[in-house]
A and B are shown apart, each in its own frame.
Chain A
Amino acid sequence: MKTKTIFLSLLTALGAACGDDVSQTTVSLQFALTDGDTEIGCDDLLAGVGADAVDLEVRDARFYVSNVRLVSASGEVPVALDDVSPFQISDVALVDFESACSDAGDTNTNDVVVGTVPEGEYTGVRFTVGVPFELNHIDQVVDETTTTPEPLRATGMWWNWQGGFKFIRVDLAPTPDSTSPGFNIHLGSTACMGNPLMGEDVTSCGNPNRMEVELTGFDPASDTIAFDLRAALDGALTNQNTGAALGCQSFPMDEECPAVFDNLGLPYGGVAPSGPQSVFRVR
């Protein structure tokens, strides 16, 4: 509280000095998991999705949001994320629609990202889906004595194999009469290397795979940001599993990945996306 007060007084002082008083306001970005325009949740059915129009059920849907900005006529301003246990710190927030329908999840859910911005007429939002690089390659250990921030303690979002976190985790299981093996979307940074001679940790990633989202015609006070699973699977080969990783888990040379990455607006296998992401939209 003390820090916040000082911060605000400083801002006021600054504003006064410039003859332009800017007061701060709280913004609460509302997210929703959807099938097209319909809000869905854990265990709900996605009928006829992907290029193969298979039936799948939601078992997990979580993602990290960072670098949040609101856009007004005069440009963009950063949203200072509140430090709210356990789903967000100032650098990153976990949006979590998983409510214990996954073996790797729990009953806790979170569908809002809360922060502070200068008061203004905002008509758009921009954010990154992913964990910032500086946090993505920390030691992932659950321990009250370590400094691992709370949103990063969900082991279901760990991606130890790649030395980072899953930025998006979507697990979709086949229905009893579906021919699909199921389809998972696990997005995260790949091709990460350190300096092998020095035994260093990760210093860079060939495929950062952080999604940039920009939504226009967005009123933060009344609109919701939809995370549309049907759109995420658009054109995806949902009736097969060619690699060892079910669905698309960011693994190279996986036939189930190109369509998904294109939907996420990310390059895959050296191929640029056909356009911006189409999975998040204003609802």
Chain B
Amino acid sequence: MLKPMWRFTPLFLLALACGESAEAYVWDLPPGFPEPRVPEDNPMSEAKVELGRRLFYDTRLSGNETQSCASCHLQSLAFTDGRVQGVGSTGEVHPRSSMSLANVGYAATLNWANPLIRELEPQALGPLFGETPVELGMAGREDELVARLRGELVYQELFPEAFPEQEDPFTVSRVLAALAAFQRTLISGRSPYDAFTNGDSDASSESAQRGAELFFGEEAECFHCHGGFNFTASLDHSGQVFETLSFQNNGLYDLDGRGLYPTPNFGLFEFSEDRRDMGSFKPPTLRNIAVTAPYMHDGSIATLEEVIQHYADGGRNVTEGPHVGDGRLNPNKSIFVNGFELTPERQADLLAFLESLTDEAFLTDPRFADPWVETDAAP
């Protein structure tokens, strides 16, 4: 009987010392992962994360109430949608492919090539209010959005819990804050590859180990753009002094011999208008890459085998259709996309390595699943 008492006392004292201040948020980080960078004005809390999850899966966030964030970001597909290009709530086709949200809290920039959007809070404005293309279609309807949320019983509890210091927590900015908090918890780092590097020698096949050697070697050179714990050079976390932005051209197209990409997917050029940035996109994380087909910013490569072939070829020579041109000769192409010798064995090894980055626990983690289903099923 005494033991529990002793255990509780220090906690009790702590609570007294801290008064009513919120408890520090406890991250569930895989071994070796740093904490994501969290904006000072949007600290993490369990209530906020839960609110964010509710909102992420709530179709009231679209104008016609047909789509939520999860419509284009499915957990089972590492929060991509399996489509070549995304489709918005009004049926408008997005020019680009839905991006994985795995480890999105560590991304230096969001979206495929937008250097202006660096934090998840403003990022959510794009899909919510953007009109070119229309995604969730809420432009001009912010009052309606807030009114819809205000009417939900779950939110009447969760909004004040998540934002206790606010007199009226029902605002668009709180929606953005909660969505960002939830997305920062979408951390994936428990793949067989991680288990292997953390000492479980049975976690990775011989083939995957050979693939890893090739991946991190100077012949295939994959790691230059897809290195580090998140397998991308576009990285930001709490311990980093400078964000590392990265936008690279991997030789998919060259329509005019001067590096032109098919409209409207010009990559970083859209923002810099510097021709050298034409066709430069962010190297996405390769974690869970085996479940996020099709690939590239425009979904133009269907399988991982073909992606490997693309890099072995040093780019893509398009010989028919509207995008004819030899991307291998694109003047803006990354110096690391030079091609390498690909044997069937090497192809299989690289594939095995990339497949070993699939984190099943992440894809099925109930903390990231649709919470409204649970509510409906509850007695």
Which residues of A pack against B, CB within 8 Å? 102-106, 139-146, 154-156, 158, 160-163, 186, 190-194, 196-199, 201-202, 206-207, 242-246, 249, 251-254
Contact = CB atoms under 8 A, between A and B. Distances in A.
B160 to A, nearest CB: 15
A162 B272 contact: no
B209 interface: no
A143 B171 contact: yes
A199 B273 CA distance: 19
17 contacts: A103-B63, A103-B137, A103-B141, A104-B139, A106-B140, A143-B173, A143-B174, A145-B171, A155-B129, A155-B139, A156-B139, A160-B129, A161-B130, A161-B132, A163-B117, A206-B273, A244-B133
Contacts of B266: 252-253
Contacts of A193: 115-116, 271-272
Interface in B260-285: 263-264, 266, 269-273
B298 to A, nearest CB: 11
Given A143-B171, A156-B139, A207-B273, 19 more contacts: A142-B142, A143-B172, A144-B168, A145-B166, A145-B173, A154-B140, A155-B140, A155-B141, A156-B131, A158-B125, A162-B271, A193-B272, A196-B243, A198-B242, A199-B108, A242-B263, A244-B133, A252-B273, A253-B263
A249 B129 contact: no
Contacts of B122: 139-141, 160
Task: Give chain B's interface secondary structure class.
Answer: loop
A251 B267 CA distance: 12
Interface string B155-173: 0000000000010100111
Nearest to B132: A245
B273 A190 contact: yes
Interface string B91-128: 00001000000000000100000111110001001100
A161 B114 contact: yes
Interface residues of B, number: 41
A141 B179 CA distance: 14
A105 B140 contact: yes
A199 B243 contact: yes
A146 B177 CA distance: 14
B171 A199 contact: no
A200 to B, nearest CB: 9
Contact of B172 (A142, A196, A198, A206): A142
